[in-house]
Structure formats: C-alpha cells, structure tokens
C-alpha cells in the first residue's frame, strides 16, 4: 500500500468514526433537559474540561516530548488565551453586538475571541521563546517558570483584567465578568465547538510533528549539536515550535473561558493546588508518554477522569476510610504516580507510539512478534 493510499484510508476511517461520535452526541444532547440530568450536568462539563486539557497536554508534549525542552509556563499561556477571549467577547457584549449567546454573530465572535487568544499567546510564546530557548534543561525550566510567574503577576496588576473587566474593572486576581462563560444549557448547545476545536488542534499538531518541522525538532531533541551540524537552524525551529505550542495553549485558554463564568489567575499559577497547574500538565505528558500525542490525549482524559472521580464519585464513599483519607489529598496521589511512572516506566503509557485506528491490528501483531522475539532471545541467553 502506498503512503498516499494509506493516508486516504486513514482519512476515511477517521471521518467515519468522528461522524459516528457527533451523531451519538447529537442524539444525547436532545436528552439534555430536565432536572438533575446527567448529560447536561456531568458529561458536558467534563467534555469541555477534557477538551482544553487535551489541547494543553498535547501542546506541551510538542515542546517536552518532541523537542525535549521542559516548559513550565504553559498554564500562563493558557491564562493569556483565557483572559483575551473573555475580555474580547466582553467588549463585544458591552458594545451591544450580541446580547445572549445565540446566533451567527455570536458564533463568529466566539471563534474570533478564541483565535485572538491563541494568537496573543503565540506572540508571547515567541517573545518568551527567543531568549529562553538559548538555554536548555534546568535553566530553561526555571526561566519558563519565571516567565509564568511574571505573566500571572502582571495580569494581577492590569486594571482592565480584574473585577468587572475592561472600563469597569480594577486590578485584581479575579475577573467576574466574561462575554463567553457559558451556562449549563449553552454548554450543551455549543458542545460541538469544544469538540471541533479539540480535534482541529490535535490534527494541526499531528500535521506539524509529521512535517519537516517535526523531524527537525526531533533531531534537535536527540542531539542538538548533530542537528545543527546537519544544517538545521536550531534556534529558528525551537522558537517556532515554542510559539506554535503556545498558540494551542492559548486556544485551550479560550475554551477554558467558555467553560468558566469567572476567571482567576490563581487557577493558572504555578502553586495552584488544582488540576490546572503547569506541573500537573507535565504529569499528563509524562504519563501518556513524551513523544506520543495520542498518549497525551489518553493521559489527559484519564487524569481528568481520576481527578473528577476522586472528588465527586459516589464509590469513594464506599471505600475503607484509610483510602478515603488518601483521596482527600489528590495531589499526593498524583505526585506519587508521577514518581512511580518515572521510576518504572519512564516512557509513559504509550512511549512514542501513536495510536491509530487504521494500524491498530498491524501494530498489535508487531508488538506480539517483538515480545515473542524478546522471549526467545531471553531463552537463548
């Protein structure tokens, strides 16, 4: 089978699966009314959160897994995206362009706000990337951490980013008003936006890592000096990738602004105890496998699910009190998981394997053959 044919086949398979998925959701969303409805109250918000976590994790994986540079300011890029989208849509709302979240104009503004959030984040990624990427390893980690702190610190002190926002605002850590900030029912209505953007973002990142840019940054990861010697302009590729990745972190921020009525910088701070924490995202990427975008997707969904269930699941109450006591400190569990993963399976769940519906059968067969071979070798020894 030629490469082109394979791509065509992959396209067909993916389209069919996605179409089925959408059909299923459309079917489900009709049941989204009524009091205490599971779909509206639990599933939809979860899908929104999964959406932005997936984008965030995959975008970090581009930098951490494919380029081999640890960035600790992705949540700050996300904050930029979230604040931009929220304030821009709020400006349109205050100007009277739309009143309620309905109609074509609103949809246009929504996409425009999210896109601008992404672009601004990318611009910051560019600005941060130029100086930061001259350094690597520990230094890069600490300098990106510093940038993250600066961004949060500055947002806290911008008068239009606090309280009621824009002209009515005053500097503070929370923005109470948000032009997007969907309610429960609106979240159901616009669930397709979350899913569409997530898929688009992931596809665009896939395209990137499979292109010549992707090959270049993987070469940089494996050996920067050798890459430079073979004519790759390392600085250029590093900054470009960093900005590209920041763009998607910003898009994730835009989705966050849609899903949350109020935004607070403390949610994006390095020291935040919640799930949205630059270190938590690192956990996702490491767990899924540095260098596997599908791994990041699986890990993001898995981590979200575990996090949600630990806090809200009814089954937690049935566990013995000792385990319940541990679950009161979820971050302790995640830190432990991260250490265990690094110690015993540093590759993460997927390693650098990319899951694909088209190849799943062949991959499994290959894996089995490999295992069998290993076994045979062991016996031979």
- Using the rule CB under 8 A, which residue among 119, 146, 235, 306 binds another protein? 146
Residues 187-226 that bind another protein (CB under 8 A): 225
Minimum gap (Å) between residue 150 Cβ and another protein: 4
- Using the rule CB under 8 A, which residue among 342, 357, 360, 372 binds another protein? 342
Comparing C-alpha atoms, which of 127, 365, 80 is closest to residue 250? 80
Residue 285 and residue 6: Cα distance in Å, rounded?
28
Residue 36 lies near another protein (rule: CB under 8 A): yes
Residue 172 lies near another protein (rule: CB under 8 A): yes
| Beta bridge partner(s), residue 175 | 163, 263
In this chain, which stretch among 24-32, 108-116, 182-190, 209-217 interacts with another protein, using CB under 8 A? 182-190
Question: Which of 22/176 has CB closer to another protein?
Answer: 176
Place of tokens 């850590």: 173
Residue 253 and residue 85: Cα distance in Å, rounded?
8
Q: Is the dihedral angle over the CA atoms 7, 8, 10, 15 positive or is it negative? A: positive
Residues 284-313 that bind another protein (CB under 8 A): 286, 290, 308, 311-312
- Using the rule CB under 8 A, which residue among 276, 297, 300, 303 binds another protein? 276
Minimum gap (Å) between residue 338 Cβ and another protein: 4
Name the DSSP class of 102.
-
Question: Half-sphere exposure of 252 toward its Cβ, with a 13 Å CA cutoff?
Answer: 30
Residue 284 and residue 88: Cα distance in Å, rounded?
30
- Using the rule CB under 8 A, which residue among 27, 95, 317, 378 binds another protein? 317
Q: Are 140 and 133 in contact (CB under 8 A)?
A: yes
Residue-wise burial string across 238-257, b where 16 or more C-beta atoms lie within 10 A, e elsewhere: bbbbbbbbbbbbbbbbbbbb
- Using the rule CB under 8 A, which residue among 325, 357, 360, 367 binds another protein? 325
- Using the rule CB under 8 A, which residue among 30, 324, 365, 372 binds another protein? 324
Residue 27 lies near another protein (rule: CB under 8 A): no
Residue 164 lies near another protein (rule: CB under 8 A): yes
In this chain, which stretch among 107-115, 168-176, 191-199, 363-371 interacts with another protein, using CB under 8 A? 168-176
Quick one: three-class SS letters along 134-168? CCCCHHHHHHHHHHHHHHHHHHHCCHHHCECCHHH
In this chain, which stretch among 93-101, 155-163, 208-216, 294-302 interacts with another protein, using CB under 8 A? 155-163
Place of tokens 């006591």: 325
- Using the rule CB under 8 A, which residue among 41, 196, 219, 306 binds another protein? 41
- Using the rule CB under 8 A, which residue among 149, 219, 302, 358 binds another protein? 149
| Beta bridge partner(s), residue 174 | 264
Residue 352 and residue 296: Cα distance in Å, rounded?
10
Minimum gap (Å) between residue 256 Cβ and another protein: 8
Minimum gap (Å) between residue 214 Cβ and another protein: 19
Binding mask 118-137 for another protein (x = CB under 8 A): -------------xx-xx-x
């Amino acid at each position: 089978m030629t490469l082109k044919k394979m791509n065509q086949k992959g396209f067909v398979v993916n389209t069919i699966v996605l179409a089925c998925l959408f059909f299923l959701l459309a079917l489900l969303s009709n049941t989204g009314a009524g009091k205490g409805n599971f779909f509206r109250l639990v599933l939809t918000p979860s899908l929104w959160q999964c959406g932005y976590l997936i984008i965030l994790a995959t975008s970090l994986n581009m930098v951490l897994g494919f380029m081999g540079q640890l960035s600790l300011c992705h949540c700050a890029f996300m904050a930029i995206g979230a604040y931009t989208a929220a304030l821009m849509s709020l400006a349109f709302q205050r100007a009277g362009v739309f009143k309620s979240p309905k109609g074509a104009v609103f949809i246009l503004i929504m996409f425009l706000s999210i896109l601008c959030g992404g672009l601004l984040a990318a611009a910051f990624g560019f600005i941060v990337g130029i100086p930061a990427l001259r350094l690597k390893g520990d230094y890069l980690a600490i300098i990106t951490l510093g940038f993250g702190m600066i961004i949060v610190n500055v947002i806290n002190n911008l008068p239009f980013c606090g309280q009621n926002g824009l002209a009515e605002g005053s500097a503070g850590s929370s923005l109470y008003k948000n032009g997007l900030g969907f309610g429960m029912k609106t979240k159901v209505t616009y669930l397709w936006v979350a899913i569409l953007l997530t898929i688009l973002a992931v596809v665009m990142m896939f395209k990137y890592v499979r292109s010549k840019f992707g090959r270049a940054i993987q070469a940089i990861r494996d050996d920067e000096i050798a890459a430079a010697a073979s004519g790759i302009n390392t600085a250029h590729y590093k900054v470009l990738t960093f900005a590209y990745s920041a763009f998607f972190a910003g898009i994730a921020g835009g989705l966050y602004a849609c899903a949350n009525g109020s935004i607070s910088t403390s949610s994006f701070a390095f020291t935040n105890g919640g799930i949205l924490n630059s270190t938590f995202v690192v956990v996702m990427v490491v767990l899924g496998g540095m260098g596997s975008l599908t791994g990041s997707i699986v890990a993001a969904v898995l981590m979200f699910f575990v996090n949600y269930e630990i806090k809200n699941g009814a089954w937690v109450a049935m566990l013995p009190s000792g385990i319940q006591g541990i679950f009161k400190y979820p971050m302790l569990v995640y830190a432990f998981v991260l250490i265990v993963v690094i110690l015993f399976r540093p590759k993460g769940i997927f390693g650098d394997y990319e899951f694909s519906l088209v190849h799943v059968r062949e991959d499994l067969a290959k894996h089995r053959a490999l295992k069998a071979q290993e076994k045979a070798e062991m016996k031979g020894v």
